[in-house]
Structure formats: structure tokens, C-alpha cells
Amino acid sequence: MNEQRTTAHRLLVLGAGYAGLAAAVQLAARVKERADVTVTVVNAEERFTERLRLPMTATGQHVADLNIPQLLEGTGARFVPGWVTAVDADAKSVRIDDDRVLHYDTLVYGLGSVADTASVPGVEDYAYTLSSARDAESLASRLAQLRSGTVVVAGSGLTGIESAAELAEQYPQLNVVLVGRSEPGAAMNPKAKAYVRSALLRLGVEVRSGAEVTKVLPDAVELVGGESIAVDAVLWTSGTRVSPLATAAGFTVDERGRIVTDPTLRSVSHPDVYAVGDAAAIQQRYGVLHGTCQSGMPTGVHAAVSIVRSLQGKQPKPFRFGYYHTPVSLGRHDAVVQFTRPDDSPRRLCLTGRLAARYKETVTASPWPTYGRMKKMPTSGAFWPRGGRFTRRQVAR
């Protein structure tokens, strides 16, 4: 399939995750009345992947079926299910499933990130990941077969903590071992970190900090120093990587393959391309944004607003974002919410226990209704903390 040339301005959004879908809904809502602009969204699945709930999916819990084409109904945006296999920056085209070609005038690149399965031998072959709903479902199938045994969660970051807690709570008959270089909650204040530690202990998770997996085998993991742990399943949550498509397309990328953007979220090498979410390297005064849903949705909204301003002949504004919290679930009834400064450093304030669990659930459930609201009223999605002095641009004297 090769699309016919039209005179309309073609906006093409790649990836309908937290960031790409925010961009798509915003664009569709904001150009709805314009006959000279089209919006097309490409995504691997029709179903929206709530990545924040993947530890639940991986432990066999039911999560809602959220349908992207249904969400886009009435907006005029076209949804194309399929897998993007190449982007041709010169021809301004995108190949889908190798045999379809879509052309664009402006591209929003939001293909997200996946677990880094390439850095340690055996991970690709023998470990489970939470890169997609399908990956999480395969772990759920494996766990359903186990009456006893050991599951190692490799990586003591937030995904590792949430996954270990969920596993231990749902499968008390299994030994859950959380292996990582740093202590769980290392970036939190001492009170929040201690709470994480005691919650994991209460759930029966064995925490192995200062440890590093060097190899994954079919029935064991090897650690630095030569120790080996016999396993029945390994969940890999250590590190992320992005699709190689941006590098292959010739876009300027950082050392991790993320598209380097200017302050308006445009690619520094290809001004007709905007990058959002985990796939983008977005500089703020305090550093490059790290992948979160918290920052990803605002990048999608801002890219859409920038594009619409450009179409109107106006100058796009710089993107500013400040972090405000790190909510971490510890099973279904417990959590920690670490409030943060805009640069993501921890404040003294944190919530714990049931109140924190309710807070976390509210945050996790909020993106989908937010998209629904933005469809009708795009300005409703344009509020997020801008980061104050942490993101204000310094004026040269």
C-alpha cells in the first residue's frame, strides 16, 4: 500500500503510548475544524498498554481493555494498526509491516522504550520482561504453572520494586528475590527508603543489594563473584533501550539512541520531526528527562501545541517540566509516594500505607480519562508543573 499524495498537511504520530497518544488526541482535537490537515496514528496494538499496570498483568490480575480506535472516534484521526519497520527522513515516509508506506509532512515520534535485554548474556533468551502486555502475559502463564520455586527480579529500580512486591503478594508460595546494584528506593529520602525496605521484608521478598547479574541461564542466574541462584523464572527490569529506527533514519540521537530535541521538542537535525516520551532526549536546565509517564504525557501535549502553533504561523514555545512525585506501589494495599523537587530530587515529604496506595491508584488510573477529556477540551491537558526556577532559562547578561 502506498498512499496517494494529497494537498492536506499530513500529521503522522508513531506510537500510541502515554506520550504519543497525548500528542495524537491533542492534534486531532486542535485541528478538527481544519480540512487542510490530516492526523494519522500508528501503533503496534489497538489496545492501549497501561505500562504502569504491567506488574499486575504479569501476576495474572485483570486490567481494563482500553481501545485506542474507540478513543479516537469522532476526532477525525485515522488509526493504523501495525509495526513501524523504517522511517525514511528524505522521502518523509514510514514503512509499516514492511509492505505499507505512509507519508508525512510532520512526524511525531513516540515509540517509547523497552527493557534492555542486550547488555547481559542470556537475558534475551531466558528472562521475562515487562516491555509489552504480551511479555507480561507470558510471565503470568509461567507463574501459573509454579506451585513453588524461586523467581528472581533483576533490577532494583522502581519497576523492580513494584514487580517484586506484586509477585510476593500474589504468589506467597514462591521465593521472590530482588537483585540489584543499589538498595531499593535508593533515590528516596531515608524514611521512604526504610518504608520500602520494611514493606518488601513484610511481603517476604529477599533483597540482594550490591549484587549484579552477569548471566542468565535456563534455570539459574549468575552473579558477580561467581555465585549462582537456581531459578524457575527471571524477570528482567534492569535498564531500558529504545528502538534503533531513529538512528537508522539519520536523526540526531544521544548515546542511548533517543532523538535529541530543541526546546520546542523538534528534532535538532530534522525540523519536521518532533520526539516525545521515552524515545526523546529532552534537555531541561537540571538535565535530560528520564522516562516516566509523568513527564511523557506533557511532552506529547507540548509537541502537539507546538505543531499547531507552527501551522498557524506562530512561534512554538519552549517545553518546561518539573517532576513532583514518585509513587511506588508495594502490592495492592501499600505504597510509598515520594514527593520531589522539580529536578526529581527527594523532598522530606512522603506518604506511606493505604493512603499512598490510593494516591498511586488514582495516578495510574488517570491517563485514560485525561485523554477522553482532552478530546473534548484540549486545554484541559495543558496543565503540569513547569518547574519554576529549576527550568527557567538563564538570560545572558
Binders of ligand FAD among 55-94, rule CB under 6 A?
A: 55, 83-84
Q: What is the footprint of ligand FAD within residues 125-144 (CB under 6 A)?
A: 130
Binding part of the chain for ligand FAD, among 13-21, 70-78, 342-350, 365-373 by CB under 6 A, reads 13-21
- The reply on whether position 26 binds ligand FAD by CB under 6 A is no
From the list 361, 363, 333, 331, the residue with the least C-alpha distance to 164 is 331
Cell of 389: 526556577
Quote the CA–CA distance of 114 and 243 in Å, as a whole number: 8
The 165-204 site mask, x for binding ligand FAD (CB under 6 A), equals ----------------------------------------
Nearest CB to ligand FAD, comparing residues 80 and 308? 80
Q: How far is the CB of 207 from ligand FAD (least distance, A)?
A: 19
Residue 117 binding ligand FAD, by CB under 6 A: no
The reply to whether 19 sits near ligand FAD by the rule CB under 6 A is yes
**For ligand FAD, which stretch binds (CB under 6 A), given 107-115, 302-310, 330-338, 349-357?**
107-115
> How far, in Å, are 72, 113, 163, 200, 272 from residue 130 at the CA level?
26, 11, 9, 20, 32
Position 257 contacts ligand FAD (CB under 6 A): no
| Half-sphere exposure for 306 (CA within 13 Å, toward CB) | 28
Query: 120 vs 153, which CB is nearer to ligand FAD?
Result: 153
Residue type present at position 263: P
For residues 181 and 24, give the distance between their C-alpha atoms in angstroms, rounded to a whole number.
38
**Does residue 292 interact with ligand FAD by CB under 6 A?**
yes
- Beta-bridge partners for 350: 338
Give which of 191, 186, 230, 189 is closest to 210, Cα–Cα: 186
Asked if 352 is part of the footprint of ligand FAD (rule: CB under 6 A), the reply reads no
Q: Which is nearer to ligand FAD, 340 or 391 (CB)?
A: 340
CB-wise, 45 or 137, nearer to ligand FAD? 45
Give how far Cα 361 sits from Cα of 52, 187, 330, Å: 10, 22, 11
CA 234 to chain centre: 21
Assigned C-alpha cell, 288:
535530560
Choose which of 26, 189, 243, 264 interacts with ligand FAD (CB under 6 A).
243
Instruction: Work out whether 156 is an interface residue with ligand FAD (CB under 6 A).
Output: no
Nearest to 254 by CA among 268, 264, 265, 266: 268
Instruction: Quote the least distance from Cβ 230 to ligand FAD, whole Å.
Output: 25
Q: Which stretch binds ligand FAD (CB under 6 A): 38-46, 257-265, 305-313, 368-376?
A: 38-46
Residue from 13, 38, 41, 51 touching ligand FAD (CB under 6 A): that is: 51
Q: Is 106 exposed, middle or buried (0-12, 13-18, 19+ CB in 10 A)?
A: buried
| 17, 180, 257, 342: which one binds ligand FAD (CB under 6 A) | 17
Q: What is the DSSP secondary structure assignment for residue 4, as one 8-state letter?
A: P
At residue 207, φ and ψ (nearest 5 deg) are -100, 125
Whether 359 and 335 have beta carbons less than 8 Å apart is answered as: yes
Per CB under 6 A, residues contacting ligand FAD are 15-20, 42-45, 49, 51-52, 54-55, 83-84, 110-112, 130, 159, 243, 277-279, 291-294, 296
